Structure 1
Amino acid sequence: MGVSAGSEEADLVNVAFIYSAQCHSGQKRKSGEPYLNHPLEVAYILAEWGLDPATIATGLLHDTVEDTHATLEEIEEQFGVEIRHLVDGVTKISQIEFSSAEQKAADNFRKMVVAMAQDIRVLVVKLADRTHNMRTLDHMPSKKQKRIAQETMDIYAPLADRLGMNGVKTELQDLSFRYLFPEEYAELLGQMEAVHPERQLYVDGTLDAIRIRLQEADLAFTKIYGRAKHLYSIWMKMQKKGISLEQVYDAVAFRVIVSDIAACYGVLGHLHALWRPVPGRFKDFIALPKKNGYRSLHTTVAGPSGSLIEIQIRTEEMDAVADSGLAAHWHYKEGGQQPSKDLAYEWLNRLREWQQEVDDPSEFLETVRSELFHEEIFVFTPAGDVIQLPRGASPVDFAFAVHTEVGLHCVGAKVNGRMVPLRKPLESGDRVEVMTDRRRLPNREWLDFVVTSRARTRIRTAIRRREQEEAAEIGRNLLERALKANGSSINAISQSGALDDYIERWRGGHTLDDLLAQVGFNKLSTENLVERLLPEQQTVPPRSVASPQTSSLAARLFGRRKPKGNKSGVEVGGLDNVLISFANCCSPLPGDQIVGYVTRGQGVRVHRLACETLTEFSPERMVEVRWSTETDVTHQVSVRLVSDDRPGILANVSICFQDLSINISEANCRVLGDGTAIHTFRFGIESLEKLETIVQRLKSLKGISRVERA
């Protein structure tokens, strides 16, 4: 959107320039040039992107509050509420540091989402600010160059891509590449310059062949050109495939720009007639646009001399959107105050949803990274609707994309008419049908293979809710039993008001179920709780976690026998020589709160008290169990790690286990598409205390983002 000279818009920008010049008067940049040059360049960039006058004015003002005496109140008085909010948002983002420890960086990313939540232009101004800072990074110390470049590569380039601003993304990636890998950058740049004359001859010949073919077919076109792909994308392809520059067939992308969509398909037909298309390399992003709004036809053909070339065909509008994304189709509602909702706002709304649903900042950052870095596939519902998913998505991801309720109650799936496992990766073009059962809920194992942020977030929320409900029920039983031993009950102390008073003092705003869940999770002991609820009487601790009925059930089944020694490390309600096994579903360890379940013909199986599986069993078959006071029995347990996908991780983990004299009995690893890996280790260990030691040691290793008991 241009700014006409003499218009109100031009006056706004001029006043912003004068105000910025006054605020930054006397300030210098690291290069020695006047600081005012920076906001002026940011405003130029925003104008080149076609942004509105309010955003351009914000570019001029974006550093005034942070770096000068200016205040937000002054900004509002001079320029109005809209620009105040924009400047405030950019200021908050500028104060965020992403290179700190993982937890802090994750929390800071949440703050960034809040800052840009009301107006996406906040992020656009920050991208312009970062673009100019990257262009002038030479004057910074080397260490700071690398920190800023890494932050740009990890955060701002992917965000630009998510807004469809491909030109910004490629510039930020190339500039970051230059500072992060200076030797590789210089070497590749030299190679590109060396082959440029020969490659240009090939490009010119290819363009002539396309031009002649389309002219002979009387197909009008606006522009035909060949452009070298940016250095970072070429380097990444060379690294990923282990090939040389000469082997990168699509180092140059050919583009044909036409007037309308019908002409796109007409050009495609003639190019396929001119050169043989490569099977499986055609992509129709016009019929199935990318999430960021990108639309184009892509085809790879065996061009002149049989060399493979990639050709992109699109309209002028599509070409503008491909380069500038959100900025290319910036429209305004009536009154011209706020940009209309588009794909960028839909994505931002999803971010806000995730932020509200995900409590753990690191989990939130993992969610966003997953969303930012995945390639896409297109699959179909039975009704023929198109669902866009990341590559590697499963039927469970598909189910949650259709509707949350479909995902929560998914029990099976058909792909192209055939039953498949729920973990099977989908392919573009698959037709997917999901079977549901209202009685079923998500399985924790789904988290091992789902890739979409929506599915992962909804599954975790459902599991947490279910665990909370189960813990509350367990806590209710434990507290009721403890109160009964002291001549009271939950109902009695509720009626007296003692329970409500305690809950309010304990944690204002929480409920009885929250309190009971803390008991069920063994985070709050019933003994301490009863002492506080019945302070005026001598309290008696509850005898066991199992009812008298269950203890008598065990006695009837196993009888009371003479002790012959206990090799399991667990005692069953005063009985000896009982056949005991440990549940694989929860792998209890000495130190865990436990309960026994009387199986049919296989003795007593020991579970952790918070085990999900217990809800499926009959309470009448539960028996009291406890750990022996002296036991050195080794118990099998599993631990799940989330790490960076890089060399040396497994070696460091193995050394950690070796230092603690722990023998790994089973290990599995699965690499995700976002640069992370999930490892599961099963090993023998003596106690919960030792497990906590190994967990803390693993968490301290570089590259490990999360460690949890599986």
Structure 2
Amino acid sequence: MEKDALYNALIKDISHYIKSESNINLITRAYEVAKIKHLGQMRKSGEPYITHPTAVARILAELEAGPQTLVAALLHDTVEDTDYTLEGLEKDFGKDIALLVDAVTKLNKIQFKDTRQTDNQQKMLLAMAKDVRVILIKIADRLHNMRTLDSMDPDKQIRISKETLDIYAPIAHRLGLFRWKAELEDRSLRYVHPAMYYKVSNLVKAKKEERENSINNVIAYIKDLFKESELSNFEIKGRIKNIYSIYKKMINSGRDFEDIYDLLAVRIIVDKVETCYQSLGIIHAHFTPIPKRFKDYIAVPKPNLYQSLHTTVLHSDGTLFEVQIRTKEMDKVAEDGIAAHWAYKENKVYSKEREQFEMMSRLKWYADLMKMTEDKDDQGENSEEFVETVKTDIFSANVYVFTPKGEVIELPSGGTPIDFAYKIHTDVGHKTVGATVNNRIVTLDHELQTGDVVSIKTNKNSSGPSEDWLKIAKSAHARHKIKGFINKTNQEFTYSTGKDLVERELVANKRNDELTDEWVRINFEKLSITTLNDLYLEVGKGNISVKTIINKLMPDLTKEQLLKRQIERTARQLIATSETGVVIEGLSNPQIKLANCCTPIPGDTILGYVTKGSGIVVHATHCINLNQYDKNRLIPALWADNINRKYPTWLKIKGTTRNGLLTEIIQVANSSGINIAEVSAVTNQELESIIKIKITLKEKRELDTLVVNLQKVPQVYYVEREII
């Protein structure tokens, strides 16, 4: 095929980094196939369709993308828009290129008519996690479409532009593709908010000459300063912020155009890191730095690998401008993002797996995305939850804090120690009881700031997160983990309650039946209950009565007999109750006492232990001392229904040593209607307050309520029932 101007322009763009004849031939063959397959097809602009895939390939060539990526870009619309089949493409160009084209084709079918269409957003994110080259092709495809959007209908212009701002620009930003991001944003703003676009654009143009003169004067002055300091091998450039960035600052901060600090920026590019800091010293020595406007992204790079020193200074003529100082390598990354690190080199062996590993090792957020996609199904996340997590925790994250070992953890704005803990590990989050920030104890709702050093205090005996944490956590990941824990805990409590009710009813009816899944299936399958665990859950929820189970076990008893047995049982509980409130079936006046070690209270499941001379000692089934006893001496025990007394038990509380903590704990107990009999408080070697309170109450529900209320007290780490 005769080579045309489009082809020649493409080859010229790639010739500086792709020189292998076999690679050039591969790209040439792909161009020829694309041109033949799209022959006769025209774009809305009136141009031959081949101009689009060629333009996409040339945009990717700016990043020095590899031959396979360029071939996939040239062919990315052939399977969808022509008679070229995926099987034919694989035969002609290989499996890897076919997979790339197939993935891009599937993404092409996604339309975000409503940005809440999370199923489609999820597909985009999953495709990026699977192979980042797919997204690079798609962003390049979108960039060229935005450049030619004038030919589309107004409705499509607005829809595509909104979609670009919501999806494509944030991904470009996260990949460090700042030039692409800025162009996508500016072109989108022109269609979404044309009035604001032209307003800002005209304001920028109105004083363009004045600003350019100002920047040029500053650059000339800085060059003289550097020469006086005997600095050489540097480059200084000036720029004005892109239109969308100015627009966002005006909207978010409510400022006028003239009040935006960093409209003007001077970029200083030097040869090494030490010179960056030397340059900063010279700038601050001769200009007035604006407080709180200095950022060191060299020591702490942004998650998209961006590195630079930023400072905003005031010139003697009253002009405010931002200075960015970085090395040549940093400048390359600032321009091309991650692509600067894996730009194609013909002397290296390339594979999709190697490039993915490169991405994960360099971009922590990308590794987080990979993990999210792997965990998605295990966690049972739906598409809305998954997309919310990615958007909130990855695309919107802009607070950077440190672990005590210096690892950078990225959190969304307003992130708290709870978000930090769950970012470290789910188990750390679940067992969190306190936090320190910059060596100072803080509450769990403390708002973290960039640069904070955060340490999490955990306790293996912690009862886990409460529903109050859902109001504190800002990251979708933390909220999802907290909800999962609470749902699981509630289910376990419901299961335990149901099992206890069934077992008590079996004892009350003197039944020794061993219930099985098969028995449950035979008797309850019509109710969609097929396992014993499901049965316990339904009983715990109150959906199935324990009487129904007994009726199934004892079908020969008449209703009159069942009623008689129930009346007899109630009568026994009413009259065969010792002063402890405990009933032992078959004993009318047993000698009973409550164990001092576990101090059981109504609501605890209990067992009686027959001693050799002291009657029956009743323990809560959670008592660790039961493990030491002869199992043959353990007998069933129940609480009576007519208890009218209070029972003592102990609580152990850990917290900080802040003044007033003990007083607040006592107030919470009193406001819950619970009497305190004894109190002791000590401080341990870790400077924690350990408070023990002996309380009296009627039943376990009162205790559960008190524990929940105590856990809400600021700087209380955890509350647990004490076994002496």
**TM-score of the aligned structures, taking structure 1 as reference length:** 0.71
Give 3-state SS (helix, strand or coil) of 2:144's partner.
Answer: helix
Residue in 1 that maps onto 2:465: 442
1:24 equivalent to 2:38? Answer yes
Q: Does structure 1 retain, via aligned residues, the 8 Å contact 2:287–2:315?
A: yes
Quick one: which of 352, 356, 360 aligns to 2:373? 352
Quick one: which of 181, 188, 194 aligns to 1:169? 181
Q: Does structure 2 retain, via aligned residues, the 8 Å contact 1:493–1:533?
A: no
Matched residue type, 1:95: K
1:76 equivalent to 2:99? Answer no
Q: How does 1:405-420 map to 2 (within 5 A)?
A: 405-420=427-442
Q: Does structure 1 retain, via aligned residues, the 8 Å contact 2:104–2:138?
A: yes
Q: Does structure 1 retain, via aligned residues, the 8 Å contact 2:76–2:105?
A: yes
Aligned-CA RMSD value: 4.1
Quick one: which of 46, 49, 58 aligns to 2:63? 49
Q: Could you give the per-residue CA deviations for residues 656-680 of structure 1, whole angstroms, max 9, x where no partner exists?
A: xxxxxxxxxxxxxxxxxxxxxxxxx
Residue in 2 that maps onto 1:476: 499
Structure 2 unaligned regions, length at least 5:
1-13, 580-639, 643-670, 676-695, 703-724
Moved more, 232-241 or 68-77: 68-77
Moved more, 212-221 or 352-361: 352-361
Q: Could you give the per-residue CA deviations for residues 476-499 of structure 1, whole angstroms, max 9, x where no partner exists?
A: 3466678899998883333x4654
Q: How does 1:352-501 map to 2 (within 5 A)?
A: 352-353=373-374, 355-356=376-377, 357=379, 359-374=381-396, 376-440=398-462, 441-477=464-500, 491-494=514-517, 496=518, 498-499=520-521
Matched residue type, 2:442: V
Q: Does structure 1 retain, via aligned residues, the 8 Å contact 2:146–2:187?
A: yes
2-structure distance, mates of 1:337, 1:463: 43
Q: Could you give the per-residue CA deviations for residues 270-319 of structure 1, whole angstroms, max 9, x where no partner exists?
A: 11112122222111111101111111111111124233211111111111
Matched residue type, 1:50: E
CA drift of 1:525 comes to 4.7
Q: Could you give the per-residue CA deviations for residues 249-285 of structure 1, whole angstroms, max 9, x where no partner exists?
A: 2112210011121111111111111212222211111
Quick one: which of 157, 172, 176 aligns to 1:160? 172
Q: Does structure 1 retain, via aligned residues, the 8 Å contact 2:506–2:550?
A: no
Give 3-state SS (helix, strand or coil) of 1:220's partner.
Answer: coil
Matched residue type, 1:24: H
1:238 equivalent to 2:261? Answer no
Structure 1 residues 300 and 221: CA distance shift in structure 2, 3 A: farther
1:320 equivalent to 2:341? Answer no
Q: Does structure 2 retain, via aligned residues, the 8 Å contact 1:531–1:539?
A: no
Q: How does 1:525-564 map to 2 (within 5 A)?
A: 525=544
Moved more, 364-373 or 317-326: 364-373
Structure 1 residues 385 and 154: CA distance shift in structure 2, 3 A: closer
Q: Does structure 2 retain, via aligned residues, the 8 Å contact 1:414–1:434?
A: yes
Q: Could you give the per-residue CA deviations for residues 525-553 of structure 1, whole angstroms, max 9, x where no partner exists?
A: 5699969988999999x999xx9799969
1-structure distance, mates of 2:418, 2:555: 55
Structure 1 residues 99 and 600: CA distance shift in structure 2, 3 A: closer
Quick one: which of 8, 20, 38 aligns to 2:52? 38
Q: Does structure 1 retain, via aligned residues, the 8 Å contact 2:172–2:180?
A: yes
Structure 1 residues 283 and 622: CA distance shift in structure 2, 3 A: closer
Structure 1 unaligned regions, length at least 5:
558-572, 576-598, 604-616, 624-710
1:258 equivalent to 2:258? Answer no
Quick one: which of 217, 235, 239 aligns to 1:205? 217
Structure 1 residues 473 and 223: CA distance shift in structure 2, 3 A: same
Residue in 2 that maps onto 1:4: 18
Matched residue type, 2:475: T
Q: Does structure 2 retain, via aligned residues, the 8 Å contact 1:297–1:314?
A: yes
1:297 equivalent to 2:298? Answer no
Give 3-state SS (helix, strand or coil) of 2:338's partner.
Answer: helix
2-structure distance, mates of 1:488, 1:283: 74
2-structure distance, mates of 1:468, 1:199: 65
Structure 1 residues 385 and 117: CA distance shift in structure 2, 3 A: closer
1-structure distance, mates of 2:283, 2:260: 21
Q: Does structure 2 retain, via aligned residues, the 8 Å contact 1:173–1:232?
A: yes
Residue in 2 that maps onto 1:309: 321
Quick one: which of 122, 140, 143 aligns to 1:128? 140
CA drift of 1:92 comes to 1.9
1:113 equivalent to 2:125? Answer yes
1-structure distance, mates of 2:207, 2:143: 29
Quick one: which of 297, 300, 308 aligns to 1:285? 297
Structure 1 residues 479 and 281: CA distance shift in structure 2, 3 A: same
CA drift of 1:181 comes to 0.2
Q: Does structure 2 retain, via aligned residues, the 8 Å contact 1:134–1:175?
A: yes
Q: Does structure 2 retain, via aligned residues, the 8 Å contact 1:358–1:457?
A: no
1-structure distance, mates of 2:128, 2:490: 34
Q: Does structure 2 retain, via aligned residues, the 8 Å contact 1:223–1:257?
A: yes
Residue in 2 that maps onto 1:180: 192
Matched residue type, 1:363: E
Q: Does structure 2 retain, via aligned residues, the 8 Å contact 1:358–1:364?
A: no
Q: Does structure 1 retain, via aligned residues, the 8 Å contact 2:249–2:260?
A: yes
